[in-house]
Amino acid sequence: MKTAWELALERSGGTLNELDDDRKKAIAQIDRACQARLAEAELAYTEKLKRTSDYQAIEQLKEDLAVERASIRSKAARDKEKIRSGT
């Protein structure tokens, strides 16, 4: 089964075939780790949200979760780019 990234590259005429199997596996591992970290963050913030009833605290937690998600995705993108570039 192809990843969304692989399908997007094929549609855009990208050069997916330049990546060897080891690099593809490393990128897939990064994707799995990213999804796991996102799920952990969701669970942690969901628990915090359940324990608070203060509107401002809830809004702050939601903002914090958004920042955490962006950070996780950004790190994954940087790691994948390092693999693609071979550095």
Residue 24 in domain: no
Residue 16 in domain: no
Residue 30 in domain: no
Average pLDDT score over the chain: 88
Instruction: Kindly report, residue by residue over 18-36, the tens digit of the pLDDT.
Output: 778 898 899 999 999 999 9
Whole domain around residue 55: which residue ranges? 35-87
Residue 28 in domain: no
Instruction: Specify the pTM.
Output: 0.74
Residue 18 in domain: no
Number of domain units in the chain: 1
Q: For the chain, where are the alpha helices, taking DSSP H only?
A: 4-12, 21-51, 55-85
What pLDDT shows up at residue 1? 72
Residue 5 in domain: no
Residue 27 in domain: no
The Cα-based distances of 77 to 22, 28, 56, 61, 84 in angstroms read: 17, 12, 32, 24, 10
Instruction: Kindly report, residue by residue over 42-58, the tens digit of the pLDDT.
Output: 999 999 999 998 999 99
Judge whether 19 and 84 are in contact, CB under 8 Å: yes
Residue 49 in domain: yes
